Amino acid sequence: MTSELGVKLREDMLIKFIENLEKHLQNLRICLDYHQIEEFIKTIENARCIFIMGAGRSGFIARAFAMRLMHLGYDVYVVGETVTPRISQDDVLISISGSGETTSVVNISRKARDIGSKLVAITYGKESTLAKISNVVVVRNAKIKTQNGDNELSKIAPLGTMFELTTFILLDGLIAELMSRKGLREEDLLERHAVLE
């Protein structure tokens, strides 16, 4: 058994997970809808302030993206955090929800639309309630929570895992693109990075 440790883990799922994610990344790379991404970027660049939200693990990804946008110099806020002000019609709300049906995300996104703010949905559900009320829909092709068809994948990447990871990756790739467009270097980001931590 000890010698086995050098070869593989008991259930061998970690490797299967990484291999599977590599395939998802190839697919993400090949199937990128540049028109969609460009629309997303323009919405970010034209907004006075950027508001971001998501529930559960999508919420952590939303916050990781928000933090990098702050490092790039954008005025960005996370819905529900302490210093988040009133949203206006000059602002954009970016809502992350795999299914596009998460109660709080849909209700709050609708409120933003009613105020006249731009709304960007990042979702798997291109026919979802969230997608239907959004100005820009960034459709993510990844298995999500409610799909039960792919039995093998549900063992490797349960619930929203693939949606969450590929969304995180797409958004970090977008940061690289925005950073380049703004002519910023790593040092410029570091200058805004919190030190009280």
State yes or no: residue 86 binds a copy of itself (CB under 8 A): yes
- Which backbone phi and psi does 107 adopt, to 5 degrees? -65, -45
On whether the CB atoms of residues 188 and 68 are closer than 8 A, the answer is no
| Residue 135 CB coordination number (10 Å) | 14
Residue type, 105: V
Give how many residues touch a copy of itself by CB under 8 A.
96
Q: Is 164 a known active-site residue?
A: yes
Output the smallest distance, CB 95 to a copy of itself, in A: 10
Is the sign of the CA dihedral 87, 89, 90, 96 positive or negative?
Answer: positive
Within 12-31, the residues that bind a copy of itself by CB under 8 A are: 12-19, 21-22, 25-26, 28-29
Query: 80, 89, 116, 132: which one contacts a copy of itself (CB under 8 A)?
Result: 80
Output the smallest distance, CB 146 to a copy of itself, in A: 10
Encode burial over 86-121: b for 16+ CB neighbours within 10 A, e otherwise.
ebeeebbbbbbbbbbbbeebbebbeebeeeebbbbb
State yes or no: residue 152 binds a copy of itself (CB under 8 A): no
Output the smallest distance, CB 157 to a copy of itself, in A: 7
Q: Burial of 194 by CB count in 10 Å (0-12 exposed, 13-18 middle, 19+ buried)?
A: exposed
State yes or no: residue 70 binds a copy of itself (CB under 8 A): yes
- Tell me the window of 75-83, 120-128, 134-142 that interacts with a copy of itself (CB under 8 A): 75-83
- Tell me the window of 7-15, 118-126, 128-136 that interacts with a copy of itself (CB under 8 A): 7-15
Query: 45, 46, 81, 116: which one contacts a copy of itself (CB under 8 A)?
Result: 81
State yes or no: residue 84 binds a copy of itself (CB under 8 A): yes
Among 123, 86, 126, CA closest to 105:
123
Q: Report the catalytic residues.
A: 164
